[in-house]
């Protein structure tokens, strides 16, 4: 496999907001023929609540398939960090929409060191790296409040669609299979019990030296779940054609194997269908 780097750049139609994706593009060649693989490159949408394992799963699946991995939640988090820094009122919808319009967010693949430390996408907010800074409980709560604003979502969704256009992408979030890519060839709705999801998040805080009671993390996860599921715009719901995967008792690797198997089946089906049409 040869790694090429391609830049997909999108300029927001509504204003200055732009998201730049520096994406590793992998050429897949068959061992026997040496020809570039003719397999279709899917759009894979992974949605689910906080701590269900979306990022770990999406990143691993993208790695195995040679696809681009995109963390849509990182965009809501980056914007929330800016709003917190600027002490913007989180209930002033028009001001937050303006803030989104004037913000530049970039997602890039991690360095080898960051990858070893568990980072998924590198995140840049107006050119400043905020990969770690957006991973706090305060930013998570603010992101889920910003995410209830229709105008903010419209701006970020347009960028996500532009970044994922062309397929060969695994994007994860809350509304990827329902709003961002409703025609994605494979949709996964990832679930796990709230207790297990809170424990996963709590362990991450512990590892970073942030001492939080498990009960507090569980409460915050439940609050964010409620806000994400009950908001009127693009609530967290399972798309009717999404495969429900409950990974309460599964690790990342097992879950990734299952999803890669489903992806290979879809690739085969689409390849056969394309062959019949010729
Ligand atoms: O992106 P999301 O909030 O859905 O979850 P994540 O960041 O992928 O996973 C949260 C934590 O749970 C990470 O530390 C994962 O390693 C861990 N995890 C796990 O232990 N078992 C799984 N099946 C999935 C995730
Ligand atoms: O990693 P975790 O599941 O904790 O959250 P995240 O994916 O980083 O997303 C942070 C917040 O952004 C979520 O609680 C959602 O409110 C919001 N979000 C959204 O509304 N739509 C998306 N496609 C992604 C995130």
- Whether the Cβ atoms of residue 234 and residue 178 lie closer than 8 Å to each other: yes
Task: Tell me the pLDDT of the chain (278 aa) as tens digits.
Answer: 122 222 333 333 333 333 434 333 333 333 333 334 578 899 999 999 999 999 999 999 999 999 999 999 999 999 999 999 999 999 999 999 999 999 999 898 888 887 777 778 899 999 999 999 999 989 999 999 999 999 999 999 999 999 999 899 999 999 999 999 999 999 999 999 999 999 999 999 999 898 899 999 999 999 999 999 999 999 999 999 999 999 999 999 999 999 999 999 999 999 998 888 76
3-state secondary structure of 45: strand
Q: In whole angstroms, give the CA distance from residue 257 to residue 64.
A: 9
pTM over cut 0.85: yes
How remote is the CA of residue 187 from the centroid of ligand 1, in Å? 18
Burial 131-166 (b: 16+ CB within 10 A, else e): beebbbbebbbbbbbbbbbeebbebbbbbbebbbee
Atom 20, ligand 2: which residue's CA is nearest? 147
Which ligand has its closest atom nearest to the C-alpha of 222? 2
- CB 145 near ligand 1, within 6 Å: no
> Of the candidates 177, 174, 193, 171, which has an alpha carbon nearest to the alpha carbon of residue 250?
193
Distance, CA of 189 to CA of 52 (rounded, Å): 10
């Amino acid at each position: 496999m040869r790694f090429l780097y391609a830049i997909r750049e999108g300029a927001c139609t509504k204003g200055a907001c732009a998201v730049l994706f520096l994406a590793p593009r992998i050429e897949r060649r068959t061992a026997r023929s040496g020809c570039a693989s003719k397999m279709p490159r899917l759009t894979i949408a992974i949605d689910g609540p906080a701590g269900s394992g979306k990022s770990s799963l999406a990143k691993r699946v993208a790695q195995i398939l040679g696809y681009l991995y995109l963390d849509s939640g990182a965009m809501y988090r980056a914007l929330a960090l800016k709003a917190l820094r600027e002490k913007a009122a989180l209930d002033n919808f028009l001001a937050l929409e303006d803030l989104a319009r004037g913000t530049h967010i970039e997602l890039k693949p991690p360095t080898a060191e960051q990858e070893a430390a568990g980072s998924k996408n590198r995140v840049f907010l107006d050119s400043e790296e905020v990969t770690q800074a957006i991973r706090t409980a305060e930013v998570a709560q603010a992101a889920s409040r910003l995410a209830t604003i229709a105008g903010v979502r419209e701006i970020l969704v347009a960028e996500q669609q532009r970044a994922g256009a062309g397929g060969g992408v695994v994007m994860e979030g809350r509304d990827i299979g329902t709003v961002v890519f409703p025609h994605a060839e494979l949709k996964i709705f990832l679930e796990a019990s709230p207790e297990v999801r809170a424990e996963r998040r709590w362990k991450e805080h512990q590892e970073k030296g942030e001492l939080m009671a498990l009960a507090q993390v569980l409460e915050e996860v439940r609050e964010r779940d409620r806000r994400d599921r009950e908001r009127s715009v693009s609530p967290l719901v399972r798309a009717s054609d999404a495969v429900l995967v409950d990974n309460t008792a599964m690790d990342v690797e097992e879950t990734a194997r299952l999803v890669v198997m489903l992806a290979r089946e879809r690739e085969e089906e689409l390849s056969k269908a394309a062959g019949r049409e010729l």
